[in-house]
Structure 1
Amino acid sequence: MHVHDWLDSVPAVAVYAVVALVIGLESLGIPLPGEIILVSAALMSSQHSGVNPVVLGVCATAGAVIGDSIGYAIGRKGGRPLLAWLGGKFPRHFGPGHVATAERSFEKWGMWAVFFGRFVALLRIFAGPLAGVLHMPYWKFLIANVLGGICWAGGTTAVIYYVGRVAEDWLKRFSYVGLGVAVLIGVASMLVLKRKAKKAQQDHREPEPVNAGE
């Protein structure tokens, strides 16, 4: 069952809770598909399934901000031993190379790394704990965290919602049969052009040199 199919089978309140929880845990430092869950839920909200996009955006933002703040507190208390422990548990996400890359980003960009890190999968997981480990002042972290959470969660929800509505209106205007015909024509045209290009390439290929002894 796909994420979208599963979300479509549960009540709207549960969708809000799942989105907030998964994004919160991901922001806390646990590798989870927060962005996939958010996109799927936003797409659901565009299809009149009872999921309110505004409430969804608020829940996603709250999960992101709260999760990052908890991750910050854990990172500040646990320090570098915490990163080493996470590296042993999740080597694909918290390996030495990933930690070094995220750490360089934080040292170079500071608050901007927290803000823009919300839009990058790797930094989204690291932002809270690593900011705590590096003892970034909490007020700076909180400002970047809140603004990043609003822009990422709210922006993603809005974009996917409106894209879904436009796609739905387009499909109502043009039947699925028409869409299928358009796809077939496009594929056929691509194959014809590809064949013509291959034939032209063969026609213009230079003849191989003839050995003098032949």
Structure 2
Amino acid sequence: MRRTMTTSTTDTSWLGSLIDAVISLMDIIGPIGAGVAIALENLFPPLPSEAILPMAGIAAHDGAFGLWEAVAWTTAGSLVGALALYGLGAWLGLSRLRRIADRLPLIDVSDVDRTVAWFHRHGGKAVFFGRFVPIFRSLISIPAGVARMPLWRFGALTTLGSLIWNTAFILCGWFLGSGWHIVEQYVDVVQNVVIVVVVVTAVVFAVVRIRSLRAEKRHGASPEPSDTRTGELPVRSGR
């Protein structure tokens, strides 16, 4: 791989360090390195495939390996990472997941049941279109395992969605070449937006759930209304 790629990042941020690490990995083991990086991105969602994939495209543009090698290995990496999380979901199973949810604050067992029921209705679309949404593309594999979606179907939908996503970003790096800094700026913005959306969603969920629990507590503990004139409880009809 040409050394011009190693100077594509000059910042000392975690993203810049990550890109340098991916470049080094591709220097050592070629397109397999990009596949390994994408597999890890599935297991650790904060790693941005939006940064890793264009680097594979740039490497292919520079002649380090073939364009379709980059596509094939990164798609294989996506599938391996997704299958690992699917296996985690299958190992947990619905009963174990419900027991875990019952011990967690702000999480209700009914949340698990609703999620699994929703997945049974929309699981195919969720797995396919989820490949285009940062963070969600990793997490969706777990309920797929819990719901025991047929493995062949999960694998096919994951591969197809990943193939489209990976090809788009690899081609972006391929066509931009030395203009990587344009992609890098875009990746920073996208990653920050995703983090903000996730944090805001978590905060909103927590606030709504806390208010709901407080309302239930007040309703359960509140006495029956008394007669404002006598202070006595109203007499209910026996009928």
TM-score by shorter chain over 0.5: yes
> Unaligned regions of 5+ residues in structure 1, if any?
86-94, 169-214
Cα distance in 2 for residues equivalent to 1:103 and 1:42: 37
- Partner of 1:121, secondary structure, is coil
Does residue 70 of the first structure (1) align with residue 79 of the second (2)? no
Instruction: Give matches, 1:46-61, under 5 Å.
Output: 46=61, 48=62, 50-61=64-75
* 1:78 maps to amino acid: L
* Distance verdict in 2 for CA 1:10–1:142, change over 3 Å: closer
**What is the percentage of aligned positions where both structures have the same residue?**
25
* 1:26 maps to amino acid: E
| TM-score of the pair, normalised by structure 1 | 0.58
Instruction: Give matches, 1:52-131, under 5 Å.
Output: 52-79=66-93, 81=96, 106-107=119-120, 109-131=122-144
Aligned residues between the structures? 157
The answer to which of 115-124 and 152-161 deviates more is: 152-161
Alpha-carbon offset, residue 131 of structure 1: 0.4
Instruction: Give matches, 1:168-207, under 5 Å.
Output: none
Does structure 1 conserve the Cα–Cα contact (< 8 Å) formed by 2:23 and 2:55?
A: no
Structure 1, residues 116-166: CA drift from partner, whole Å, max 9, x if none? Answer: 11111122111222200122222321221121121122232123312337x
1:41 is aligned, of 48, 51, 56, to 56
Does residue 137 of the first structure (1) align with residue 150 of the second (2)? yes
- Partner of 1:153, secondary structure, is helix
| TM-score of the pair, normalised by structure 2 | 0.52
2:165 alignment counterpart: 152
* Distance verdict in 2 for CA 1:102–1:33, change over 3 Å: farther
Alpha-carbon offset, residue 7 of structure 1: 4.1
Alpha-carbon offset, residue 114 of structure 1: 0.6
Alpha-carbon offset, residue 10 of structure 1: 5.3
* Distance verdict in 2 for CA 1:156–1:83, change over 3 Å: farther
* 2:58 maps to amino acid: L
> Unaligned regions of 5+ residues in structure 2, if any?
1-11, 101-105, 181-239
Alpha-carbon RMSD:
3.6
- Partner of 2:167, secondary structure, is helix
